Amino acid sequence: QQQVKQSPQSLIVQKGGIPIINCAYENTAFDYFPWYQQFPGKGPALLIAIRPDVSEKKEGRFTISFNKSAKQFSLHIMDSQPGDSATYFCAASRYGQNFVFGPGTRLSVLP
Amino acid sequence: DGGITQSPKYLFRKEGQNVTLSCEQNLNHDAMYWYRQDPGQGLRLIYYSQIVNDFQKGDIAEGYSVSREKKESFPLTVTSAQKNPTAFYLCASSIGAFPSSGANVLTFGAGSRLTVL
């Protein structure tokens, strides 16, 4: 019940494309769903996050869509750029504790 | 600049040796965490500490030990009992636990890569 599933494992898009990364969870007690971006050799950095009381959140070119009934959430990157090439992790937590991370998606944006 | 400093960035260990990874933060955060990252497995929690002189085991604590004698510091020792220690280790911190909304934001260090020879 603590697991967060993430797909795809890797993704290649052309510049300007809209990569979509999907995550699913089981534990309905989770109340916070962040996405982290990690560049090679660096630590992950918070990209965007959502709480289950809203269905969508947008920050710049990044959008989270949240489906509470399906227990799924996804990250969309509009007008993707080569600089967006990184590994993306979804996560879930309850009360700011016990963060559970997905296995990650390696995104490559071709110029 | 506020942040988390991990050292060393790269570390090589011989079989049977204990090694200690350093993690220092100047964010005045109460909570600190250690994660292990392996390819294709995401981040797995080793230990966490919500307050000085207190820490809790995470999902994969076997073969690891920690201490939290100061708010700023949370070193991780990888002992010889850890069967497969080669990995990328990440230290993180957050303001604190519930009910603070800031508790949800994890700030990560740049990581330490440990290789067992």
Give the separation between CA B71 and CA B53, rounded to whole angstroms.
9
CA dist B23 and A82 (Å) reads 32
Phi, psi of A54 (to 5 degrees): -125, 155
Closest chain A residue to the Cα of B106, Cα to Cα: A46
- Give mean pLDDT, residues A36-42: 93
Which is nearest to A50 in space by CA: A75, A70, A27? A75
Q: Give the tokens for residue B114.
A: 């440990």
Which two three-digit tokens encode residue A48?
């965007």
Over residues A70-99, the mean pLDDT reads: 92
pLDDT of A108 > 70? The answer is: yes
Residues B20-77: tens digit of each pLDDT: 999 999 999 998 999 999 987 789 999 999 899 999 999 999 999 999 999 999 999 9
Contact yes or no for B43 and A89 at CB 8 A: yes
Of residues B116, B114, B113, B110, the one with CA closest to residue B23: B110
Question: A95 contacts in B (CB within 8 Å)?
Answer: 97-99, 103
Q: Do B106 and A99 touch (CB under 8 A)?
A: yes
Stretch 49-108 of chain B: residues touching chain A, C-beta under 8 Å? 90, 92, 94, 96-108
Q: How far apart are CA A46 and CA A36, in angstroms?
A: 4
Q: Categorize the per-residue pLDDT at A94 as very low, low, confident or very high, splitting at 50, 70 and 90.
A: confident
pLDDT of residue B56: 93
